[in-house]
Amino acid sequence: MGSSSVVNVASKSRIAPLKKLSVRRLELMGALIGARLVSYDKEVMELEIDAVHCWTDSKVALAWICSATKQWKPFVKNRVEEIQSLTEPNSWRHYPGRENPADHATRGLALCKLVKARQWWNGPIWLESNEDAWPLRQVIRLTERERSTLNERRCSHKEIQVNVALTTDEDSLGPA
């Protein structure tokens, strides 16, 4: 097996929109930015690419990306459909948030420190190792709190409330 190296060739970050979005939706938007960047890089690079690996530190976003879209409300559904059209859902993996180099761009790291940050330019050290040394691909187990944020699921049933008031002739206001 030959050696490998990892280098940041492109990055993009965004400021959260003025309209308040949940952290989970913002994480999904980050995954969408990543998917668009992967698609663009594949298009403009004149390299033969054997495999693409996409990483997120959000278990909820990963659960959305790796599932059928028809069950989600429009915001999540539309973004997951785009992510799935640009990348293979099984190319996405989870890794610990403390090892997320993208956080350097969004957590206020000074530019003079960013340009020297090894993790920003080369990713986590294990990424340069054989894939066997990477975090295990596992079934995503969401905590109860994370599960509660999956309220993006479409309603599978409709409720109809009917109010009925019964009156007798004695109760009516008009002549009998």
Which residue matches tokens 């403390």?
98
Predicted confidence (pLDDT) per residue in 13-48, tens digit:
777 788 888 889 999 999 999 999 999 988 898 888
Across 21-113, the runs of DSSP E, i.e. the strands, are 54-56, 92-94
In a domain, 70, yes or no: yes
In a domain, 48, yes or no: yes
Predicted confidence (pLDDT) per residue in 86-136, tens digit:
999 999 998 877 778 887 777 777 888 888 888 888 888 888 888 888 887
Give the pLDDT mean for 56-80. 91
How far is Cα 89 from Cα 92, in angstroms, rounded to an integer? Answer: 6
Residue 159 vs residue 49, higher pLDDT: 49
Statement: residue 172 has pLDDT above 60: no
In a domain, 18, yes or no: no
pTM of the model: 0.76
In a domain, 33, yes or no: yes
In a domain, 166, yes or no: yes
27: domain range?
23-171
In a domain, 2, yes or no: no
Amino acid identity at 129: S
Closest CA to 30 of 6, 54, 66: 54
**Count of domains for the chain:** 1
